[in-house]
Chains A and B, each alone.
Chain A
Amino acid sequence: MVVTPSAASPSTTQIQARLLDPDDPFTVTPLPPLGGIGKGSVDLSVGRTFLVAVRASVASVRADAPGESSRLFTEIRRSGDDALIIQPRQFVLAATLEYLRMPSDLCGFIQSRSTYGRLGLIAATATYVTAGFHGCPTLEIANVGEVPVEVRPGDPICQLVLFSAAEDPNTMSPSRYQCSTRPYPARIEIK
């Protein structure tokens, strides 16, 4: 399925109204505070499970062999308000705390929030959220800065930038990451 987002982004009022309507198919759970809903975007925070790349565990990885790449990661979970310290040039997968249900008329991109970006933290490198997606999107977090950065579950490190989509709800096929609540390494082979 290829979706070409139109340039149109919903307004703050439109997003708030949709998220507060229990019958609207667009949901973000837990509901972000109203202050976290901006022009065409919704703030998202990081969850408590991380897949941390351990460089010593594999010789190399290839995108066409995702089974190998999963060996690169070790799961680390944070409880309470415990921070994960992301070292310079460390790469970590995480999932958002928020669970998204995207309707057929909206899609989005996840991008880093500038506050974290200026610390050197890139929160998402290729996170396109399709219309019809259900789940906690996996974030690809990299610290490209010079100093370690602390990340705690619930920190609003990124935002979902929304665009209009025009998908037929009857023809949308489920994502292979549908209903995920944790981060996942790549699951498919690239053709």
Chain B
Amino acid sequence: MQDAATRVDNLNRRLDNVDLALLRHRDHRETMTPGGRALLERSELLLDHARQALAYRWSRTNSLSGAAQEQARRNICDDFAAVLRELAMSMLPALDGTVADRVPVELEPVLQRLADFAAPGWGSRVILYAADALNYSIERHDDPIGSLAPTLAPALSVAATAEGPYLFLRIPSVERDTATLHAIILGHEIGHLRDWALGLSASVKTPPPDSWCDSAGQLQLEHVAGFQRYAFIAAHWTAEVVADILAAQLLGPASLCAFGELIGNLAIWGTDSTTHPAPDRRAAIIIEVLEGLGYMDVTELRPLLKHYEAESQAAAQRRAAAFGVPPHEADELAWQLVHSEVPRLITACAAASQPGERFSASDWPRVEEARGLLSSGRPCGEVIRPGPTPEEVPDAVIINAGWLARLDGMVELAGILGLDASIPNQTSQVSAVLDGLVLKSFEIAEHRRKTPWS
């Protein structure tokens, strides 16, 4: 271990490096999204706060001597390493991805609105950013000023007013314009947020399995390590399943279509991991939710749902085994627990929202209407209702219409573009146009929400 004087020099150097990285963003702040700029300002404030606090606390140790001084200074270095981690490992990577031309800026206000719905009263701030990874994610970061400042500088009178949490929503950089795939972030990732707000997955308890307990009901010593793995997997898998259920209730079939495409790209259909149950297990649960919402009765959806049902029919009975770690019966026991909770979780998720907040088969005629617009080469973000009054189209209708057009409207759209949808290269061009129309639809709907027609 280095001595405290060396460590604080290194710490200051790292903070200087972070400052330089922030400076690069500051010099181009006009190219960042509003969320990115808000995060930049908070990062700068945190850095400034940390430097003041470090200097102050260091000076306070001057009155000590010898080993006591050295220990006090090492403790200070430990505290400030937490700031460095937050800045360098969380805030900077997100800032790098908040350049407006890397993200679908049309969706930023949509996601903010959905976040406010999913976690009302949180005052959370959406930070939409792009990264190289091919999947989506949501992370909650409590305002670092509010959470770190009191620890770092208890005696300093630096303003430490806490803001609402920051929600880091990550999209794959290469999929910026693939609007239909973004159903993942609009549904599943927002589902995680709703789960955090409502505590649905946290309601699933993970007591030790009976087979691992002695006659007194106490966990046997040889199963302690297995129990830790069991509890970890059960908690993570439950959270994923709840997010899937909420996504299906919020977005309907689009949640399944986008999930299927994303997983297809990753080629992990039947593979469990320690954090996610295998996609076929999840698909089976999503189909169960959709069936409960009446979608199996929609003629044009039945083949799609039947296809995924057939692809995932053996999933629930297959023995669980997390990929990449030595096999252990904890995985199967965790799956049995999660699977047994699914009916209750579906009911609990439905009960947590108002009927109008769920998207069900009775809404499908609006999707068909919107699909008609997309297939004829028009965005579907606004429709003229009798009055006449232009009216914004709900998010779920837009994203489902996009998927329905992909499933059943490409030939018509290709004809409008003068292309042939049966030629792979031209299909890709038609898909790109369709995704452009879907993103435009979100933009138009948001414009109409913000600017009522007069």
Closest residue of B by beta carbon distance from A47? B443
User: Is B447 in contact with A48, judged by CB distance below 8 angstroms?
Assistant: no
Q: Given A78-B105, A82-B30, A179-B437: A29 and B444 within 8 A (CB)?
A: yes
Q: At the interface, is chain B mostly helix, strand, loop or mixed?
A: helix
Which residues from A are CB-within-8-Å of B444? 29-30, 99
Q: Given A29-B379, A30-B382, A174-B416: A76 and B101 within 8 A (CB)?
A: yes
For B105, B108, B440, which residue has the most chain A Cβ atoms within 10 angstroms? B440
Q: A34 interface residue, CB < 8 Å from B?
A: yes
CB distance from B74 to the nearest CB of A (A): 44
A27, A29, A75, A76: the one within 8 Å of B381 (CB) = A29
Alpha-carbon distance A30/B443, docked complex (angstroms): 9
User: Is B454 in contact with A30, judged by CB distance below 8 angstroms?
Assistant: no
Alpha-carbon distance A180/B418, docked complex (angstroms): 13
User: Is A178 in contact with B379, judged by CB distance below 8 angstroms?
Assistant: no
B33, B433, B443: the one within 8 Å of A179 (CB) = B433
0 or 1 for each of A143-178: is its CB under 8 Å from B? (1 = yes): 000000000001000000000000000000110001
Alpha-carbon distance A75/B381, docked complex (angstroms): 24
0 or 1 for each of A69-96: is its CB under 8 Å from B? (1 = yes): 0000001111110100100000000000
CB distance from B22 to the nearest CB of A (A): 20
Q: Given A179-B436, A181-B437: A79 and B383 within 8 A (CB)?
A: no
Q: B313 interface residue, CB < 8 Å from A?
A: no
Alpha-carbon distance A182/B101, docked complex (angstroms): 13
Which residues from B are CB-within-8-Å of A76? 31, 100-101
CB distance from A12 to the nearest CB of B (A): 16
User: Is B381 in contact with A79, judged by CB distance below 8 angstroms?
Assistant: no
Alpha-carbon distance A174/B416, docked complex (angstroms): 7
Alpha-carbon distance A102/B63, docked complex (angstroms): 80
Q: Given A30-B381, A79-B34: A154 and B447 within 8 A (CB)?
A: yes
Q: Which of B395-454 touch A at CB < 8 Å? A: 413, 416-418, 433, 436-437, 439-440, 443-444, 447-448, 451, 453-454
User: Is B378 in contact with A134, judged by CB distance below 8 angstroms?
Assistant: yes
A33, A173, A179, A182: the one within 8 Å of B377 (CB) = A179
Alpha-carbon distance A173/B440, docked complex (angstroms): 24
Q: Which of A1-54 touch B at CB < 8 Å? A: 20-22, 27, 29-31, 33-35, 47-48
Q: B66 interface residue, CB < 8 Å from A?
A: no
Q: B154 interface residue, CB < 8 Å from A?
A: no
Closest residue of A by beta carbon distance from B419? A174
Alpha-carbon distance A155/B454, docked complex (angstroms): 17
CB distance from B280 to the nearest CB of A (A): 35
Q: B67 interface residue, CB < 8 Å from A?
A: no
Additional A-B contact list (13), CB under 8 Å, known A31-B390, A78-B105: A20-B388, A21-B388, A30-B444, A30-B447, A47-B443, A75-B101, A77-B101, A77-B105, A79-B33, A134-B378, A178-B416, A179-B416, A180-B436
Cross-chain pairs A/B with CB under 8 angstroms, 26 sampled:
A22-B384, A30-B381, A30-B390, A30-B444, A30-B451, A31-B382, A31-B384, A33-B454, A75-B101, A76-B31, A79-B33, A79-B108, A80-B33, A82-B100, A97-B443, A99-B378, A101-B378, A134-B416, A136-B440, A174-B418, A178-B416, A178-B418, A179-B417, A179-B436, A179-B437, A181-B439
A residues sitting closer than 8 Å to B (CB atoms) are: 20-22, 27, 29-31, 33-35, 47-48, 75-80, 82, 85, 97, 99, 101, 134, 136, 154, 173-174, 178-182
